[in-house]
């Protein structure tokens, strides 16, 4: 099987490389850490790990990075003497690590799954154990850590419908890899059952809960001055602010059209768009031009530009790592990737802040969480764009209802916290016998 995979993977890589490198170029800063993507760990980073038992945690992107931060805090008192390393795949994830990771924790980019790049990274790091957060399974990496006798643990694991179908079809490749996991922390019983069916050992599986409930703890005072930014774009005092978080293609236009109509009833309504991928900024600006909505870019505000009151209808946030700060000052929240794309985005962050939120029908990646929020009257879910607009209108009309919805959502978050501690206990018990 490794031979077949390593014949096919270079073909896949060459075919996808133009798009992959184009994304790196669009996001900027691609030169930094580029060699790490091919296993070249800088000497100072490898040196900081030398002579220590190293726990390597992998976080694909921003959401998993925040889970890793919680896990490291919970693991420190349980694993004294260990050094921690966190890898990520995306530049946005690396940006979060740079801002939030403790100074004594090493960060690198995860190596592309060529045998030689994986070998080079493992030779430099020499991990004593590897923790994969949520799910991103690369066979060469998993084969090589297995061959080196390095235990692999899976934390905060979830299996989406699409992933489940894919891994089941490719069971000839993944089943044996899954059977080697030393411990698996599943988010819920349904994920545990799927992981068992995919090949994980029953005795290795633990239902630990979703650590993203811990990672979404309310923000401390201070941070980004969102009221000041809104003042820069001329948003009047007392205006209703709709924050649309992690939007995907097509949703920005729908929301702009909704706001145009809603402003007939709520003339002060202001839209804050925070797209999931900020490199889509130019495309979004072009798409919104026909709607007549007047835009300002977050990057313009960073440069000190100000706008006269009443001249801007929407702030397009083309920066990263600021969504939660904007959520804090929202009157109502729309959770993106739930109307025009399947999967949904994380509803826990606005819920932890006690915000009234609305999402569309497509919350497949967060199905149990979204269902719990709706069942506990902590969110409103609509079947289509018209339903989203109606839900937003009802919430903008009723401040008491907004407060109730937000309070219920916060209760759901609080009730589900503690997964980081349970996961840390699972990891420490497995590795510190």
Residues 175 and 263 in one domain: no
Are the C-beta atoms of residues 240 and 268 closer than 8 Å to each other? yes
State the pLDDT confidence band at 221, using cuts at 50, 70 and 90.
low
CATH number for position 143: 3.40.50.11720
Residues 193 and 234 in one domain: no
Residue 202 resides in a domain:
yes
Residues 249 and 172 in one domain: no
pLDDT at residue 208 above 80? yes
Residues 208 and 285 in one domain: no
Give the pLDDT score at 6.
Answer: 85
Residue 268 resides in a domain:
yes
Query: How far apart, in Å, do the first and last CA atoms of the chain sit?
Result: 33
pLDDT at residue 220 above 70? no
Total number of domains constituting the chain: 2
Q: What are phi and psi of 335, to 5 degrees?
A: -95, 120
Looking at the chain, the whole-number percentage of residues with pLDDT higher than 90 is 76
Residues 77 and 194 in one domain: yes
Mean pLDDT over residues 394-422, rounded?
Answer: 97
State the pLDDT confidence band at 26, using cuts at 50, 70 and 90.
low
Residues designated as active site: 64
Residues 317 and 335 in one domain: yes
Residues 170 and 247 in one domain: no
Note down the domain range covering 348: 226-415
Describe the strand order of the beta sheet including 82-88 as a list of residue ranges.
Answer: 106-109, 82-88, 53-59, 129-133, 152-157, 183-186, 205-207
Note the pLDDT tens digit of each residue in 27-85. Answer: 666 667 789 999 999 999 999 999 999 999 999 888 899 899 999 999 999 999 999 99
In degrees to the nearest 10, what's the CA dihedral of 193, 199, 203, 204? -90
**12: its two tokens:** 């896949």
| Measured distance CA(28)–CA(38) in Å, rounded | 18
Task: State the DSSP H helix or E strand holding residue 359, giving kind and residue range, or none if neither.
Answer: strand 357-359
Residues 368 and 405 in one domain: yes
């Amino acid at each position: 099987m490794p031979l077949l995979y390593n014949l096919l993977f270079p073909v896949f890589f060459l075919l996808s490389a133009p798009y992959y490198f184009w994304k790196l170029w669009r996001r900027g800063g691609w030169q930094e850490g580029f060699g790490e993507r091919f296993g070249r760990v800088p000497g100072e980073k490898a040196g900081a790990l030398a002579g220590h038992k190293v726990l390597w945690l992998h976080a694909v992107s921003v959401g998993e990075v925040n889970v890793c931060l919680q896990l490291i805090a919970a693991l420190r008192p349980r694993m004294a003497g260990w050094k921690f390393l966190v890898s990520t795949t995306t530049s946005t994830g690396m940006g979060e690590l740079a801002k939030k990771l403790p100074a004594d924790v090493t960060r690198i980019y995860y190596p592309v799954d060529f045998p030689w790049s994986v070998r080079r990274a493992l030779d430099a790091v020499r991990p004593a154990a590897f923790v994969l957060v949520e799910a991103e399974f690369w066979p060469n990496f998993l084969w090589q850590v297995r061959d080196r006798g390095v235990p692999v643990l899976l934390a905060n694991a979830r299996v989406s419908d699409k992933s489940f179908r894919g891994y089941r079809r490719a069971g000839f490749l993944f089943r044996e890899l899954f059977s080697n996991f030393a411990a698996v922390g599943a988010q819920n019983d349904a994920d545990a059952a799927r992981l068992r069916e995919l090949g994980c050992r029953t005795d290795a599986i633990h239902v630990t809960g979703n650590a993203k409930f811990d990672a979404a703890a309310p923000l401390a005072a201070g941070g980004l001055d969102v009221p000041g930014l809104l003042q820069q774009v001329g948003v009047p005092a007392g205006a209703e602010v709709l924050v649309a978080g992690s939007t995907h293609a097509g949703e920005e236009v729908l929301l702009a059209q909704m706001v145009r109509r809603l402003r007939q009833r709520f003339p002060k309504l202001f839209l804050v768009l925070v797209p999931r991928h900020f490199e889509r900024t130019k495309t979004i600006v072009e798409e919104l031009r026909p709607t007549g909505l007047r835009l300002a870019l977050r990057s313009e505000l960073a440069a000190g530009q100000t706008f006269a009151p009443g001249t801007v209808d929407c702030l397009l946030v083309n920066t990263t790592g600021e969504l939660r700060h904007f959520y804090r000052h929202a009157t109502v929240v729309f959770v993106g990737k739930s109307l025009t794309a399947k999967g949904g985005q994380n509803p826990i962050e606005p819920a932890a802040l006690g915000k009234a939120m609305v999402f569309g029908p497509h919350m497949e990646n967060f199905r149990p969480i979204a269902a719990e929020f709706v069942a506990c009257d902590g969110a409103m879910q609509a079947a289509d764009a018209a339903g989203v607009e109606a839900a937003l209108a009802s919430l903008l009309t009723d401040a008491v209802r907004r407060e109730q919805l937000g309070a219920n959502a916060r209760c759901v978050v609080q009730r589900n916290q503690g997964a980081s501690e349970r996961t840390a206990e699972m990891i420490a018990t497995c590795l510190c016998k």
